[in-house]
Amino acid sequence: MRIKNVLLKICSFVLVFGYFSGILTRTDAYAAEDILTITQNAGYQTTEFYKPKASIVIEAKTGQVLWEDNPDLKWNPASIAKLMSVYLVFEAIEQGKFTLETTVKATDNDQAISQIYELSNNSIVSGVDYPVQDLLYATLVQSSNVATVMLANLVTDNDEAKFIHMMNDTAKELGMTNSTFYNCSGAETGSFNGYYKPEGIDQNADNVTTARDLAILSYHLLKNYPDTVTYTSPTQITIMENTPYAEVLENHNYSLPGLAYGYEGADGLKTGSSPTGGFNYAATAKRGDTRLIEIVLGVGDWEDQEGELQRHAFGNAIFDQAFATYEYKQLLPKGDTTINKEDVILDQNFYGVIQRNTEPAFQLSTDKVTMETGLSQVSPTIKAPSVRFKYAKKLKALQNSTFFKNGKKKNALSTFFVNGLLIILGLLLAALAKLFKKDGSTQRFSPILALGVVLILMGIGLSVYTVIIGPWF
């Protein structure tokens, strides 16, 4: 009987342990859910074949990472590289080198590039003037290689190699530690049939970057040049309007509202595809006050053009998860508040990213408030949100001091002025007493010196009185 009871207890323990183990196993599996599972659960039809090689989602104002999968894998971004070229164009405009209305006269080389069938392009006619604004639309909407080359040549006055060096220098400045550029448009230089050939640059090399680095680039592009979305959001646009060279451009970002994978709030950034890079996607979307940036690299295979659509399924799915989980909002108001039982005064409103339906946890450093989120920064050069503060008790103690109160009274300054004059007059009399003292004189008492000392002591005494008691007149 005793053995039977022991066996029953063992069986019960095994059943209970197995039950909770199952729960824990399912929880761990959910926590480790990958991008393929997320996308399938979101209702998109896809398979392991199309699963991206790397991906990342960050919040656009703070640079905090909300999702990542193999973000530091080095990859050929294809036409997403055009974002770096556009960054340099906007930077040149900011520096006053030219404007959106500046025109670029197309050359014979430009026309020849536009006619290369294998490259994504728009129509360019030699001798025609094309406004910078229209070339930006052609670059970002149509993914035109020739428009990108024309803009790059404008920035450097036709020094093609200099522009590539600028791309790499800027990548380092922005904190893109795993990126190297060999061309301005994403298409390897050798495919331009000799019409675009930066001197000293490897003609057959692909640009190399990572999902993280492209997220860093997109972060700085949107932060420094928010008008970028003006050029990435149209699903269709006509350039060179009211001229014989008018052309309708079609956007390949199918996640833009109204297109095949339309996503609420999507308004950019850039797609890219190539034989070695597969299908890639850099995107941004805004809902309420929350703007996200995502990078999806290496979807499918160049031989299967379905990847062009599948990249948007994965992008939409991880956007959904990030928007559903996190939000960017005001967490603390400017002025008086209490943090960790300390009364403090904030210099400005505190905004940050927080997981929905949770309460933020704050930290006080020497003079800054930060928030504990458990989220990493996409780059060490992009600092987490913080705001300056002062301890309210110390500030109120100063405000309540007699000196501070008296400082606000109408006659306080006058009192200190008079006190100061007494001290200065006393010092002058003391100096005069020494000046008029006769050489060899044994006289110990000097009325002028005595008066000076009295005035000095009066000035000091009245100053102490003013600080402690208040103005004496």
| CATH code for the domain in which residue 382 is found | 2.30.140.20
Look at residues 342, 375, 392 and tell me which one is the last residue of a structural domain.
392
Summarize the annotated binding site as residue ranges: 270
What does the pLDDT average to over 370-388? 92
Question: Residues 377, 461: one domain?
Answer: no
| CATH code for the domain in which residue 182 is found | 3.40.710.10
Please report whether residue 38 resides in a domain: no
Please report whether residue 349 resides in a domain: yes
Lowest mean pLDDT among 72-86, 406-420, 449-463: 406-420
Does residue 409 have an active-site annotation? no
Question: Residues 22, 63: one domain?
Answer: no
Does residue 383 have an active-site annotation? no
Question: Residues 194, 171: one domain?
Answer: yes
Radius of gyration of the chain (CA): 35
Domain range holding 9? Answer: 2-32
Does residue 82 have an active-site annotation? yes
Look at residues 281, 298, 326 and tell me which one is the last residue of a structural domain.
326
Question: Residues 216, 133: one domain?
Answer: yes
Question: Residues 62, 125: one domain?
Answer: yes
Please report whether residue 421 resides in a domain: yes
Please report whether residue 153 resides in a domain: yes
- List, for residues 159-169, the tens digit of each pLDDT value: 999 999 999 99
Going by C-alpha positions, the residue among 164, 155, 209, 168 that lies closest to residue 189 is 164
- pLDDT score, position 438: 59
* pLDDT for residue 452 is more than 80: no
Question: Residues 436, 387: one domain?
Answer: no
What does the pLDDT average to over 426-449? 72
Please say whether the beta carbons of 416 and 466 come within 8 A.
yes
Read off the tokens for 281. 């996607």
Kindly report the average pLDDT of the chain as a whole number.
86
Confidence band, pLDDT 50/70/90 cuts, at residue 460? confident
- pLDDT score, position 469: 65
Summarize the annotated binding site for substrate as residue ranges: 270
Question: Residues 464, 384: one domain?
Answer: no
Question: Residues 55, 178: one domain?
Answer: yes
Look at residues 326, 347, 365 and tell me which one is the last residue of a structural domain.
326
- pLDDT score, position 435: 75
Please say whether the beta carbons of 298 and 277 come within 8 A.
yes
Question: Residues 9, 134: one domain?
Answer: no
Confidence band, pLDDT 50/70/90 cuts, at residue 473? low
Please report whether residue 40 resides in a domain: no
Please report whether residue 424 resides in a domain: yes
Domain count, the chain: 4
Please report whether residue 473 resides in a domain: no
Question: Residues 138, 233: one domain?
Answer: yes
Question: Residues 152, 264: one domain?
Answer: yes
- List, for residues 257-311, the tens digit of each pLDDT value: 999 999 999 999 999 999 999 999 999 999 999 999 999 999 999 889 999 999 9
Question: Residues 321, 359: one domain?
Answer: no
**Residue in 79, 255, 273, 274 annotated catalytic:** 79
Which neighbouring-strand residues pair with 353?
328
**Residue in 143, 179, 255, 274 annotated catalytic:** 143
Please report whether residue 260 resides in a domain: yes
